[in-house]
Structure 1
Amino acid sequence: MIDDKAEAAVRWPPSQADGHADAAPRVRRVGWPFIVIYGLAYTGLWMALLPPILVGLAMRVREIVPAHAAGSLSLVVGVGALIALFGNPFFGRLSDRTSSRFGMRRPWLVAGALGGMAGLAVVATAASVPQLLLGWCVTQLACNAQLAALAAIFADQIPAAQRGTVSGIVNVSLPLGMTGGTFLVEALADSTLAVFLVPAAIALACALALAWVLPDHRLAAVRRPPYGWREFLGSFWISPLRFPDFAWAWSSRFLLYAGVALLMTYQEFYLIRQLGCPPDEAPRWIFLSTLVQSCTVAVFGALGGALSDALGRRKVFVSGAALVYALALLMIAFAASYSWFLAGMAMAGIAQGVYLAADLALVTDVLPERETHAARNLGIFNIASVLPQSLMPAVAPGILLASGGSYEALFVAAAVLVALGAWAILPVQGVR
């Protein structure tokens, strides 16, 4: 672990005695051991958080209220996402002003992993939809506290010249987490408790490993900014007129994740009702599709991030990848067989890997007030990822009702939203 003397060297903000109280600390290149552990912490988080969205929550609502599974799933996922919407920037703001002797990010990293495990335990043992909803809200709140810390660590520790490469590695964690988590769901299907708690235990172990090696900044208590209602409300807003580049990047991410949310939330019902998957085979079908998508995300995320760094360009990767994702959604919408569905998921993985690698680097490059409010502002950016998880399950039943229950129409609507996300990145001026 970093000792007190070493950690003192990276106290943040610098003291007045340093003669440059308002200067940002110099960010040095990070080594591969740190990058790998950082990526593992993200992998553990996704392993605990995403499989419930893909499989676990649908499995639980079918057990609890089989006659109202679709509506109950929309309720649980939507409200949980609304909690996440407020949790990420809120904990980001708290992280930016944490003056603990353990650092600014480390306490939230560990506490989030512990809280996520507690919430998933409630999800696994719930006997009613309200209990399931409570457990999922706790899970979302805690995991987003952890996610806010991880995002801030990226801004704190990774220099501009490595952001594309490291964001590519980070985005490899997404498919690894999905694949590993869905594999555990299938392997541990005989024990509902194990399905949820084994991934949570892995997430906790990875978070502890990162906390051990993290050279965390330490905020002097006398430099901690005030916090009241005005600051609380400011945790959820950045003026688009003052920071238009950030606003366009936010809009692009929101539109892409609107399509992602529809695909992830309704994938199981689509497979069962439109492609004829037997309900007891759904976890295996989803595992295979997740594996296909994960492999392409991993490969093209790493390649896209490294190429973005090498060329010094972000926008062409972000916009082009969003267009490819829209085409993938159309392929999925009109898939005549499970094989065509897998091909569409592979294309979606290619696009998602490139998009996320370049987009994280892009938004960090244009992030407002990065030196003083990195966690808060990245938390606001992450609203673009979680808000669609709340809005789209509320919108989707209307689309299904108007289309006579057609998942083709639902995924075509998702493709249109993602295509608009490709357009939204073009007005960004602060990066190439």
Structure 2
Amino acid sequence: MDAILPSVDFTPPLSEQESAVALETNGRTAPPGNDPRTAPANAPKGFIVRAALSNYGLWTALLTPGIITLAIRVEQVAGADFEAVYAAVLSVGATIGMFGNPVWGRLSDRTRSRFGRRRPWIALGAAAGVGGVAVVAFVPQVWALVLGWAIAQAGFNAALAAMMASVPDQVPVKDQGRVSGAFGAAVTGGILTGSMIAAITQNTTLMFMVPCALCLALAAQFALTFKDPQVDARGERFSLKEIGTTFVFNPRRHPDFGWAWLTKFLLVSGSLAPMAYMVYFLADRLDLSATEAGGIVGLLFTASYALQTAVALAGGWFSDRIGRRKPLFTASGLLAVTGLLLMAFAPNLPAIITAQLVLTVAGGLFAAVDGALVFQTLPNPAEPAKDLGIANLANGLPQTILPMVATAILAVGTGSNYTLLFCVSAVFSLLGAATVLQVRSVR
């Protein structure tokens, strides 16, 4: 619609100083946090730590079932049909999470309440997510698994969308690398915590509810202390007709955001295959059973995620220190290419471990600056949550596409063609390292 309807600008001409600021912000009028004229000198005291802890709690509650306990619960409830039921539960949940995130984000942008516009979605989203997980944990019916996981995905994604949007609301550009690194570390930290909980107890209910208790405590500490400013300007009504436009942006009007989205999509696409297929790859390459391979992968990934968390935190700090994002993106992509090619042709376990080490550093560098690049290229910084939701699609779409593409690639030749799969993944990573150079407004 923006390209069709003419617009008339009644604003007065910009002064020389304002014109320079407009150029620095890519021609946008930015709210506090992204506008050099009004941004605070630093992030609010304690904000980054509290936000990262809340993010860590949300991801722990979401990823522990997604990676470990949901599969166990589905087998307990569904019996012999567990594979089909598990696929259905995951598909419904992933679809709601991926497409719900931008919608909740846009609703958060439009929220006008005495509690602010982010706090209600963080608090209620976390509570709804925990409620959905409780349905999965306590109701032994297939329909409850599907419904409960759908509610959990909707709730946690609503909270995560508002949480991400609070960063450009509150944090100036110079500190956003640290936030990006901390949020990236929160994801890997959530995976590590879930793995440790699963290792400590075999009680499925505890494996579901302990992460949820952690989530509620950490979300509460943020929501109760977070100074979420009220927006006085009356927001536009949100109609059902706008839901479709929630998933759309104009890359011609906002080319930097378009290039940032494409970079994110390509690098995520390149990184998925080793994570998703590592058990089967090890079993095939080293002639192991799936159980034996799974034990090795568990140890390998635990060490990898611990290292990736450290790299993400250090990389975010370093990015803020030098005031640059793109060099870390490019390094991440080139390291990913190296690691994927090493993995593709690895003849033994030491070579595979070496390849995984390189991929881990690449993943940590990506996590360190991923959020910062998106924050700094948002089309409308005054309403960031909707566009952050669109950016999140660059995470979700590769996960939806990978199973179909990987199945076709693995079937080439005599079958189990992991060499070709990882080489194709390397091409995606190389393209991602190149496309980030097209972003002009971020160094």
TM-score (norm 1): 0.85
Distance 2:229 2:345 in 1: 50
Q: For structure 1, which segment, 193-202 or 24-33, has the greater mean C-alpha deviation from structure 2 after superposition?
A: 24-33
Matching residue within 24, 28, 31 for 1:24 = 31
For the 8 Å contact 2:339–2:356, the answer to whether it is kept is yes
Tell me whether 1:263 sits opposite 2:274 in the alignment. Answer: yes
Q: Is the 8 A contact 2:31 2:381 kept in 1?
A: no
Change (3 A) 1:23 1:327: closer
Point out where structure 1 has 5 or more consecutive residues left out of the alignment: 1-21
Deviation at 1:379, TM superposition (A): 1.2
1:302-313 alignment runs, 5 A limit:
302-313=313-324
1:195-244 CA-partner distances (Å, limit 9, x unpaired):
22211221121111110110102134x61212114432221111111111
Aligned ranges 1:50-129 → 2 under 5 Å? 50-60=63-73, 74-124=87-137
Is 1:293–1:345's contact at 8 Å kept on the other side of the alignment?
A: yes
The one-character-per-residue Cα deviations of 1:41-72 (angstroms, maximum 9, x if unpaired) are 11112212223343334445555678777666
CA contact (8 A) 1:116 1:142 kept: yes
One-letter code of the match for 2:69? G
The alpha carbon displacement at 1:273 in A equals 5.3
User: Against the structure 1 CA distance between its residues 38 and 68, is the aligned structure 2 distance closer, same or farther, given a 3 Å change threshold?
Assistant: same
Using the TM superposition, name which of 294-303 and 175-184 deviates more: 294-303
Q: Secondary structure at the match of 1:306?
A: helix
Among candidates 231, 239, 251, match of residue 240 of structure 1: 251
Q: Which moved more, 1:293-302 or 1:265-274?
A: 265-274
Write the mapping of 1:140-179 to structure 2, written as runs, cut at 5 A.
Answer: 140-179=153-192
Instruction: Identify which of 348, 354, 361 aligns with 2:365.
Output: 354
Which residue of the partner structure matches residue 389 of structure 2?
379
Partner of 1:367: 378
Where do 1:241-320 residues align within 5 Å?
241-272=252-283, 274-275=285-286, 284-320=295-331
Aligned-partner Cα distance in 1 for 2:273–2:79: 21
Aligned 8 A contact 1:51 1:181 in 2: yes
Matched-pair contact (CA < 8 Å) for 2:89–2:145: yes
RMSD after superposition: 2.8
What is residue 228 of structure 2 aligned with on the other side?
Answer: 216
- CA offset at residue 168 of structure 1? 1.7
Of the structure 1 ranges 193-202 and 67-76, higher mean CA displacement relative to structure 2 is found in 67-76
Moved more, 258-267 or 381-390: 258-267
Q: CA deviation at 1:284?
A: 5.0
For residue 163 of structure 1, what is the amino acid of its counterpart? Q
Gaps of 5+ in 2: 1-28, 33-37
> What is the rounded CA distance, in whole Å, between the counterparts of 1:260 and 1:71 in structure 2?
26
Q: Percent identity?
A: 38
Structure number with larger C-alpha Rg: 2
The alpha-carbon distance between structure 1 residues 286 and 128, as it changes in their structure 2 partners (threshold 3 A), is farther
Deviations 1:361-405 (CA, angstroms, capped at 9, x unpaired): 12211111102x111111111111122222223433333344523
- Could you tell me how far apart the structure 1 residues matched to 2:217 and 2:203 are? 21
User: Do the aligned residues in 1 keep the contact of 2:262 with 2:394 (CA within 8 Å)?
Assistant: yes
Conservation of the 8 A alpha-carbon contact between 1:183 and 1:287: no
Question: Cα–Cα, structure 1 residues 77 and 35, in superposed 2: closer, same or farther, change >3 Å?
Answer: same
Change in Cα spacing, 1:273 to 1:197, as seen in structure 2 (3 Å) is farther
Most deviating of 283-292 and 316-325: 283-292
Is the Cα contact below 8 Å between 1:99 and 1:219 reproduced in 2?
Answer: yes
Matched, 1:342 2:353: yes
**Residues 270 and 429, structure 2, Cα contact 8 Å, conserved in 1:** yes
What is the total number of aligned residue pairs between the two structures? Answer: 408
Cα–Cα, structure 1 residues 177 and 140, in superposed 2: closer, same or farther, change >3 Å? same
Report SS of the residue matched to 1:223: coil
Aligned mates of 2:351, 2:265 — CA distance in 1: 27
Q: What does residue 12 of structure 1 align with?
A: none
Cα 1:184–1:87 change in 2 (3 A) is same
| 1:181 equivalent in structure 2 | 194
Counterpart of 2:46 in structure 1: which amino acid? P
Letter in 2 for 1:146: A
Structure 1 residue identity aligned to 2:364: G
TM normalised by structure 2 equals 0.83
